[in-house]
Amino acid sequence: MKRARYAVILVAIIALSAVIVTTSRSDGQRDAVEQLSVAIYTPMVQFANSTARLSYVQGLAKSLRASTGIPVRGLSFTSLSKLLRAKPDFAIVDGQCYAANMNWRLLASARIGGRTNRPWALYSRLGPSLSSLRGKKLAFVKTGCDDSDFIDNAMLESEIDDRFFGEQLGKTDLAGALALVATYKGAHAVFAPLGSHKGLPKVFDSGSVPNPAFVQLNSRLANDLVDRVRETVIGYGGSSAIDGWSAGKTQQYRALRRRMAKRVKRGLFAVPEPMRLDANEYLIEPASVGENDLPQIEQNFEKPPERQE
């Protein structure tokens, strides 16, 4: 009996040791990251050129390597689909794209001009009249992130018919969309952030749009590593198109996502307050006619002829 009992205890100890070793190896594999990658796709941000955009993300990758001790690659992409196919660990994506993909983990929000969002407006080379744009061409940035919802609902507030503009021309970045209106004159109007419109007359304000978001795409990374990455990004300055970073807050991106949903506006019917009318105030009583005023009627009788027998 004692030998059997000792055998059971020994088996239990071996099994527990195996679990501990397995867990330790699993944690070790989770923390043992050989290389990280951070990508950027921000067509709404006006970098000087594609080289400046790549230099920015590579500079950030260098800072991340210094803080984590892990080699980090900085990558730049011209479309969101290409970025996602590359499967980077972290990414900088436009606010519109994060609003359309809020399952990603938000770590930080970009500051441009000291703010984490920018006011947008519709600009046109035809002047400030909206009616003059009916049937004309609208230039926009083709992000691949629910572009039609962004234009029709977020920018136009679901108030203008989707056939108002004769044609919508998509460009790969904001600089190209602005140039199509201001320089090339291939389109008549464009939505753009304030300060980027190159002297085009403003038609109307269209609300604020949050700046790019720094998000985590690889959910298998250890939390302490992600925390170090977040702290490094928030502390990263810059003299490029992005001033710096602030702690990520999803509220402004959720607000944009709600604005991108189609809204149907209906008139409100108010219940009228009850009113009491005094008929004497509105009716004019005619003068009464007395009995003495009745006209005299004279009755004339004619004697019938005598009866003939």
> Both tokens of residue 35?
């290389």
pLDDT of residue 292: 57
- Please tell me which of 145-159, 202-216, 236-250, 283-297 the model is most confident about, judged by mean pLDDT: 202-216
Residues 203 and 217 placed together within one structural domain of the fold: no
With respect to residue 54, please indicate whether it lies within any of the assigned structural domains. yes
Q: Does residue 25 lie in a domain region? A: no
Residues 173, 192, single domain; the answer is yes
Contact 279, 144 (CB under 8 A): no
Residue 189 · residue 129 · CB < 8 Å: no
Token representation of residue 32: 């043992």
Confidence of residue 25 (pLDDT cuts 50, 70, 90): very low
Is the model's pLDDT at 274 over the cut of 80? no
Of 41, 44, 79, nearest to 193 (Cα)? 44
Which carries the bigger pLDDT value, residue 175 or residue 289? 175
What's the rounded mean pLDDT across residues 118-128? Answer: 94
Of all residues in the chain, the percent with pLDDT exceeding 90 is 67
309 vs 174, 191, 306, CA distance in Å? Answer: 125, 117, 9
| Nearest-angstrom CA–CA distance, 226 and 104 | 13
Q: How large is the average pLDDT for residues 214-223?
A: 97
Q: Are residues 194 and 139 in the same domain?
A: yes
At which residue do the structure tokens 């009788």 appear?
301
Q: How many domains are contained in the chain?
A: 2
Of the two residues 22 and 209, the one the predictor is more confident about is: 209
Domain boundary among 244, 259, 274: 259
Decide if 124 contacts 200 (C-beta within 8 A).
yes
Flag whether 157 is in a domain.
Answer: yes
Same domain? 61 vs 108: yes
CA dist., res. 13 & res. 4, Å (int): 14
The per-residue pLDDT for range 251-267, each reduced to its tens digit, is: 999 999 999 998 766 55
pLDDT computed for residue 270 by the predictor: 61
Question: What average pLDDT score do residues 275-292 get?
Answer: 60
More confident residue, 218 or 9: 218
Q: Is residue 271 part of a domain?
A: no
Exposure string for 21-60, b = 16+ CB within 10 A, e = fewer: eeeeeeeeeeeebeebbbbbbbbbbbbeeeeebbbbbbeb
93 and 215 together in one domain: yes
pTM (global) more than 0.85: no
In a domain, 294, yes or no: no
- Which domain does 43 fall in, by range? 31-116+211-259
Residue 247 within any structural domain of the chain: yes
| Domain's final residue, options 259, 278, 295 | 259
- Interval 73-119: pLDDT, tens: 999 999 999 999 999 999 999 999 999 999 999 999 999 999 999 99
46 and 195 share one domain: no
Residue 97 lies in a domain: yes
pLDDT of residue 20: 37
**pLDDT averaged over the chain?**
84
CATH code: domain of residue 47: 3.40.190.10
On the question of pLDDT at 27 being above 50, the answer is no
Q: Say whether both 59 and 203 belong to one domain.
A: no
102 shares a domain with 40:
yes
Please give the pLDDT value at position 209: 97
Residue 174 sits in the same domain as residue 225: no
- 61 and 127 in a single domain? The answer is no
- Domain boundary at 208, 242, 271, which? 208
| Claim to verify: residue 183 and residue 146 sit in the same structural domain | yes
C-beta separation of 99 from 256 below 8 A: yes
